A and B are shown apart, each in its own frame.
Chain A
Amino acid sequence: MAAAGPSVFLLMVNGQVESAQFPEYDDLYCKYCFVYGQDWAPTALPLASVSRADGGAGAEEGPRTVTRTEERRQHGDKARPWGWRQALAFPVYFEGGGNAVSSWTDVGQEREEGLEEGISQITSKSQDVRRALVWNFPIDVTFKSTNPYGWPQIVLSVYGPDVFGNDVVRGYGAVHVPFSPGRHKRTVPMFVPESTSKLQKFTSWFMGRRPEYTDPKVVAQGEGREVTRVRSQGFVTLLFNVVTKDMRKLGYDTGPPDTQGASGPSPQQGLPP
């Protein structure tokens, strides 16, 4: 195998959905999932999906005080609304010195099958001047692929209650997982789709239901966006630690390891004043 050389490379991503800024909204929770090309497959599961699956099961057995949020979560469990793919559970090995083969990660074996997605807790704004919404919600996933095309994107959607207590979407956003190994901070702008007609706008306001994407994955796609009108109204801050394996062996040059992104992508992208 060593003589043939590797044909797959690995991309390990961990980190967190750190916090958010939504000046107009409070009591929000966040969902994430990964969207990736055909040549990509996840090899380990995020912790979050397992704990969420447990929580969902518990909620079903418990007393029937199911809020909209719970419903959405359970619904999410059952309907598997996006990017669902059975995770491949097999160990990943380093090629150690000599014949020694050490296990790099075998978490995939121990976790039950699930999704490379998660749902956070509901958070309220901090009482201080930052007015930050902190989730501190873990991300942990490893991908393998033969081709960088279709590089994974994380798709975020944020929900919160409106004045009637219904859960409505407060923002969708997406960003590519960083290329280069290292620690990266990304501030993702969040937007919601808008009704195109005035009548729809009025009815959606009146009924307390606003337009949502049936499949949030569309925010990771470049096609078919020219018909959507959106309103950007917040930011989510993500923290990534990226480790790649065998990319250089496959001939890819990802450039110098970059940690400059850790201080934030750009001033324009920074949080609103």
Chain B
Amino acid sequence: MAEVHVIGQIMGATGFSESSLFCKWGVHTGAAWKLLSGVREGQTQVDTPQVGDMAYWSHPIDLHFATKGLQGWPRLHLQVWSQDGFGRCQLAGYGFCHVPSSPGSHQLHCPTWRPLGPWREQLARAFVGGGPQLLHGDAVYSGADRYRLRTVASGLVHLELGLLLRHFDRYGVQC
């Protein structure tokens, strides 16, 4: 079986209007993929930056996959949340990005969005926080069922991923 190592960091986020941010992340793969070691999902620290407007998480990722097929190449899905002074959390953005398919190190900038409710909810969110969330998180990384959503852009999540491939050339696969 061919092997893929994904090693890197979720660096942080920019462009969100909220200041104390954290990120819930997970990896989704096809059925042919097996996670040999590493954790499939996690949650970063909450950063309140003092310099600049980028929240830094420096959250390490180290995943070791074995695969029998190319379909279902790993994709990372991200949920950015903000925390206010009372410790309440509110959704700031959803996003996903495919793990790059070529070996080497990659800088990824994942755009995010959040669901937009009717104007009454939007008004309520502006004053008291909250706002709509997805019931099923898989809409973040799958294209089905998206057409019913109304969304608005939010910030960018920055990732730095290194990719190590093993034995792909043995099967004639070019990445």
Seen from chain A, the residues whose Cβ lies within 8 Å of a Cβ on chain B are 21, 23-24, 37, 147-151, 153, 173-176, 178-180, 188-189, 191, 194, 196, 219-223, 225-226, 228-234, 250-256, 258, 261, 265-266, 268-269, 272-273
Chain A contact residues, majority secondary structure:
loop
Give the interface centre of B47, B165, B167 by most chain A CB atoms within 10 Å.
B47
Name 9 A/B residue pairs within 8 A (Cβ), A-sorted.
A148-B164, A149-B38, A178-B105, A225-B43, A225-B45, A229-B48, A230-B45, A230-B47, A255-B103
Chain A contacts for B9, CB-based, 8 A: 175-176
Seen from chain B, the residues whose Cβ lies within 8 Å of a Cβ on chain A are 5, 7-9, 11-12, 14, 20, 22, 36-39, 42-52, 54-56, 58-62, 64, 83, 87, 102-105, 107, 109, 158, 160, 162-170, 175
Q: Using known A-B contacts A148-B7, A151-B62, A258-B104, determine if residue A252 contacts B166 with beta carbons closer than 8 Å.
A: yes
The 4 closest A-B pairs by CB, nearest first: A255-B104, A255-B103, A226-B43, A189-B56
CB–CB A174/B58 < 8 A: yes
CB–CB B104/A266 < 8 A: no
Bound state CA distance, A148 and B167, in angstroms? Answer: 14
Chain B contacts for A230, CB-based, 8 A: 45-48
CB–CB B46/A228 < 8 A: yes
Q: In the complex, what residue of chain B is closest to A186 when comparing beta carbons?
A: B160
CB–CB A225/B164 < 8 A: no
Chain B contacts for A251, CB-based, 8 A: 166-167, 170
Chain A contacts for B54, CB-based, 8 A: 189, 232, 268-269
Chain B contact residues, majority secondary structure:
strand
CB–CB B45/A258 < 8 A: no
Chain A contacts for B105, CB-based, 8 A: 178-180, 255, 258, 261
CB–CB A228/B45 < 8 A: yes
CB–CB B50/A150 < 8 A: no
CB–CB A252/B165 < 8 A: yes
Chain B contacts for A233, CB-based, 8 A: 49-51
Chain B contacts for A258, CB-based, 8 A: 104-105
Give the interface centre of A150, A226, A250 by most chain B CB atoms within 10 Å.
A226
Q: In the complex, what residue of chain B is closest to A188 when comparing beta carbons?
A: B58
Bound state CA distance, A91 and B163, in angstroms? Answer: 30
Q: In the complex, what residue of chain A is closest to B64 when comparing beta carbons?
A: A149
CB–CB A265/B107 < 8 A: yes
